[in-house]
Structure 1
Amino acid sequence: MRYLLTLHMNPTLWATLTDDQKNGVYEGHGAFIKHVTETGEMVETKALAEPAETKTVRVQDGVTQVQESAFVESEAFLCGYYVVDVETEARAVELAAMIPDAQYTAVEARKIIHEG
């Protein structure tokens, strides 16, 4: 089963972290990637740009409208994800808990139900 593990960034919270804590997050991602690669559970990972670099596109009555920001206005934003291939939901949750961001914010584990 494949799961999408989404990471959400809260810039206000991030700004309160010490340099050591921030470095711990960066190093933790390296260790997590190494671990899930070695176990064969890694499918892919991506880091995403912040909302200021986002375009939200809608088509209404045949007219394309572009908004210069993320779809949802919020303090926290989707900043990246991992796709993992695991045997059980419990393993997906276990891996989500290993992601260093989980110490400071939520990591969502969502089952992928269709791939194109």
Structure 2
Amino acid sequence: MSEFVILIYGDEQRWNSMSAAERAEIDAAHGEFRQKAGDAIRAAGELQGSATSTTVRRGDDGEPAAVDGPFTEAKEVVGGFYVIDVPDQATAVALASGLAEARHDHSGVQVQPLVDHSAG
């Protein structure tokens, strides 16, 4: 088995202005994803808006410094994630393809394998 992170990203302004029907469609697709993935889901979460984030970077003195908000400006932001443990990337992509964000014109889904540091 291999672990993958599924990053759900999109236009935060569009997410904030979605209709109840659009939100229901997305929620239903996540319910179907959770049902199909089952015990393969290791972690999952929806992120609060980017205005609530803090970025930690090297400060002028060489020590870590926290700054309000996201460090980079982007039209699309990460809004949620899943960490899944499935046999291969094709399985992870097939599961991710069922998410509504993979079909909307203002969002997308990234599937990326995690590095396995357990092998010595």
Residue 42 (structure 1) aligned with residue 41 (structure 2): yes
Residue 29 (structure 1) aligned with residue 26 (structure 2): no
Provide the TM-score with structure 1 as the length reference.
0.84
| 1:11-90 to 2 correspondences below 5 Å | 11-14=12-15, 17-37=18-38, 40-60=39-59, 61-90=61-90
Taking the aligned partners of 1:68 and 1:49, their CA distance within structure 2 comes to 14
Shift of 1:115: 5.3
- CA deviation profile, 1:49-89 (whole Å, cap 9, x unmatched): 11100011112333443221112211211111001111111
Number of residue pairs the alignment of both structures matches: 114
Structure 1: unaligned runs, 5 residues or longer? none
**Shift in CA distance, 115/43, structure 1 to aligned 2, threshold 3 Å:** farther
- Answer yes or no: is the 8 Å Cα contact 2:36–2:95 preserved in 1: no
Identity of aligned residues (%): 22
**Partner letter of residue 26 of structure 1?**
D
| Residue from 107, 110, 113 that aligns with 2:109 | 107
State the SS of the aligned residue for 1:94: helix
Residue 9 (structure 1) aligned with residue 16 (structure 2): no
Provide the TM-score with structure 2 as the length reference.
0.82
State the SS of the aligned residue for 1:45: strand
